[in-house]
Homo-oligomer: A and B are copies of this chain.
Amino acid sequence: MKATVIVRLKREVLDPQGDAVRRALGTMGFTGVGGVRIGKIVEIELAAGDRAALQEKLAKMADELLANPVIEDYEIVLGS
Contact = CB atoms under 8 A, between A and B. Distances in A.
A49 B30 CA distance: 14
A46 to B, nearest CB: 6
Nearest to A38: B42
A36 interface: yes
Contact of A35 (B21, B25, B40, B45): B45
Q: How many copies of the chain does the oligomer comprise?
A: 2
Given A21-B66, A30-B57, A41 B39 contact: yes
Bin the interface of chain A by size.
20 to 34
Contacts of A14: none
Interface in A1-35: 6, 8, 18, 21, 24-25, 28, 30-35
